[in-house]
Structure 1
Amino acid sequence: MLVVCEGQVTEVEYFEGIRDYFRSLPVDIRSCKVIGLGRDPGSLVDHTIRERDKKEKEARAQRDANIAYDEVWCVVDVDDHKTLDQALIAARQGGINLAISLPCFELWVLYHFEECAAACGPDSIKRKLRKHIKDYDKHLGRAFPFANHEVARDRAQRADPDHCTPNRKGRNPSTNAWLIVEVIRQSGRSR
């Protein structure tokens, strides 16, 4: 599994932490193997397709299907990106799963602590996170409650019940980052 993130800190720390929580070793999370590129969604999807294709080529050359990725995900925020619609089309056409958070990925992190059902912006989410993570500055800290992933999923589903598939933009607030967590969880169980 490959997870490529728009963000370079929070997303990477989260998915590496959840991978370790479930002991899911075959998860390649970029920018430390969860790739955090700090790019716009269109560029992120293009990069992800190239990464996936490179691994598939390597798998064919070595005649080892285990080298290729079984699942490929991109993690993006809605923000004010002008390339989100282009990224959605490219992801669908390229066989990439896009997890989208509105307004930002930190909403998924917040759901590990509390509900958030009213429309909001990134600043209000970060303020709320500071109540739960002392001096929150994008880093999650060692004591992050990864075990709350199911509660977080339930909160995300209550906030936007229709945001339950990849390559779909939900309403504010919404996140389908829980889809990636489910795949990582299943990967850990199959080992």
Structure 2
Amino acid sequence: MGSDDLFKKRREERKRRKHEYRPINTNSFLIVTEGERTEPLYLKGIQKKIKEKMDGRIDVIEIPVIDIHGEGCGTGKLIEVTERIVKEAKILYQNVWVVFDKDDFDDFDVAIQLGKEKGYQVAWSNQSFEYWLYLHFNYSDSALHRYDWNEKLNEIFKQYNLGDGTYRKNYDNIYDLVNVYDGVNSAIRNAKRRMAGFVDERDIPSQYDPGTMVYKLVEDLKRYLDE
């Protein structure tokens, strides 16, 4: 074996050992979203609140690591992207979440199942993340198209004079906007009410319209604000 080949072999071995011995962070979240705007902006709003609360507190043993990736790709592709991020990460995440909507994707149910098989937690919405946002203000079990949920949010933003009076996907402070009147806790209650009849092994997410599991992720993060 030549010296160049030996050097390459040792380099690969060092890289493999480095990958194999990644530290496990027991208080960490990787959140990968289908959308590039609304979902990551909303979740970064929670992330910001947690950081503000934790900074300077001497009684906190370990501040949570929360990494959010807005990928802008479809459901099945999102699982592949998440797998790549997990493999390339410098730490082993304790909690891996994927966030995506049904929209018009045919592989919605398959992607949910595949994500679960890989050990990921799936915060899906049928039809869209906007249904989750609507639950911050009102309960509904009406099966509406995602454009209709956008329109309903338009009405709410105008009614409560939120943002510029129109619902948009690129509000940096979307979390604060929908959290008026304790909106996040209302959304969690409304989502639990809607999903109370959903049984994982029996019901098909694409046929459970409307539906959302985003509340589980938000609850998981929000415990850092409520403790």
TM-score category, normalised to shorter length:
0.7 to 0.9
Offset of 1:25 from its aligned partner?
5.0
Question: Structure 1 regions of 5+ residues with no counterpart?
Answer: 31-35, 59-66
Q: Letter of the 1:92 partner, please give it.
A: K
- Higher Cα radius of gyration: 2
Where does structure 1 differ by over 3 angstroms across 4 or more consecutive aligned residues? 22-25, 140-143, 162-165, 187-190
Q: Deviations over 1:33-53 (max 9, x none)?
A: xxx212111110111112112
Provide the residue aligned with 1:82 in structure 2: 106
What's the Cα RMSD here? 2.2
Q: Which amino acid aligns with 1:46?
A: E
Determine the structure 2 residue equivalent to 1:45. 79
CA distance in 1 between counterparts of 2:44 and 2:129 reads 15
* 1:145 counterpart residue number: 178
- Distance in 2, matches of 1:51 and 1:69, equals 10
Identity, in percent, stands at 27
| Residues matched between the structures, number | 173
What is the aligned partner in structure 1 of residue 68 from structure 2?
Answer: 29
Structure 2: tracts of 5 or more residues without a match: 1-28, 52-62, 158-164
Which of the residues 175, 183, 187 maps onto 2:220?
183
Classify the secondary structure of the residue corresponding to 1:154: helix
Q: CA, structure 1 residues 189+135, in 2 after alignment: closer, same or farther (shift >3 Å)? A: closer
Equivalent of 2:197 in 158, 162, 181 = 162
Q: Secondary structure at the match of 2:93?
A: coil
Q: Does structure 2 conserve the Cα–Cα contact (< 8 Å) formed by 1:22 and 1:189?
A: no
Partner SS for 1:2: strand
Q: TM-score, normalised by structure 1?
A: 0.81
Distance 1:162 1:102 in 2: 15
